[in-house]
A and B are shown apart, each in its own frame.
Chain A
Amino acid sequence: GAGVSQSPSNKVTEKGKDVELRCDPISGHTALYWYRQSLGQGLEFLIYFQGNSAPDKSGLPSDRFSAERTGESVSTLTIQRTQQEDSAVYLCASSLYPIYSYNEQFFGPGTRLTVL
């Protein structure tokens, strides 16, 4: 596609429920990143995928968060047993890296998650 797409654009859920957020990167981009933006924490990096390498999960806020990517395409971010502090905008980005070591990242429109 023309840009990074994310779905849903908005998600309202009840505390304790599980949610799944989806990201479609720009076609041909090998690296994919998840971030979140909240009022208290600003923009923070969560996790990235590159090729077949195992992702570094150290940036995930808690063990309730997990992420998967199928090959070099779609990625899902899953939050189990959601808490009110999980409310934020979740952003996905992709880049061409490691092609030419060029790592400009392009962002999707985000998913706004509200936990009641």
Chain B
Amino acid sequence: GIQVEQSPPDLILQEGANSTLRCNFSDSVNNLQWFHQNPWGQLINLFYIPSGTKQNGRLSATTVATERYSLLYISSSQTTDSGVYFCAVAPAGGGADGLTFGKGTHLIIQP
């Protein structure tokens, strides 16, 4: 099946810093989503981005489908950005396939 690798696994930053999280995947995809898992375990949708670039406030994401990677940018980090960020993909041609998740990036923003 499709493989998803996220880096870095852990990231500790000071409030106000910027960060870039990376997601590499092993095959063509028709779905790529970025999630933030909050301390209560809820998966919050950040971006649905199988290709292209999107921005939402301090967050933006870019997926280069031909090179099989996606980047999540967080600018001017706040302590509330702490948590685990997951990238998840579904292979192209699979219709409504389930998502394959990476192991996540654990982000800690210190005040």
Write the residues of chain A forming the contact surface with B, with a CB cutoff of 8 angstroms.
Answer: 31, 33, 35, 37, 42-48, 50, 59, 89, 91, 95, 97-98, 101-107, 109-110, 112
Min distance, Cβ A37 to any Cβ of chain B, angstroms: 8
Query: Given the complex, which residues of B lie within 8 Å of A33, measured CB to CB?
Result: 98-99
- Complex formed: what's the CA distance from A46 to B98 in Å? 8
Q: Does B41 lie within 8 Å of A35, measured CB to CB? A: no
Query: Given the complex, which residues of A lie within 8 Å of B98, measured CB to CB?
Result: 33, 35, 45-48, 59
Q: Is the interface of B mostly helix, strand, loop or mixed?
A: strand
Q: Which chain B residue has the least Cβ–Cβ distance from A91?
A: B43
Q: Is the interface of A mostly helix, strand, loop or mixed?
A: strand
Q: Which chain A residue has the least Cβ–Cβ distance from B102?
A: A42
Write the residues of chain B forming the contact surface with A, with a CB cutoff of 8 angstroms.
Answer: 30-31, 33, 35, 40-43, 45, 48, 86, 88, 90, 95-101, 103-104
Min distance, Cβ A38 to any Cβ of chain B, angstroms: 12
Most buried by A among B40, B98, B101: B98
Most buried by B among A33, A43, A91, A106: A43
Q: Which chain B residue has the least Cβ–Cβ distance from A44?
A: B101
- Complex formed: what's the CA distance from A33 to B90 in Å? 13
Most buried by B among A45, A101, A103, A110: A103
Given contacts A31-B96, A35-B98, A98-B95, contact A104 B41 (CB under 8 A): no
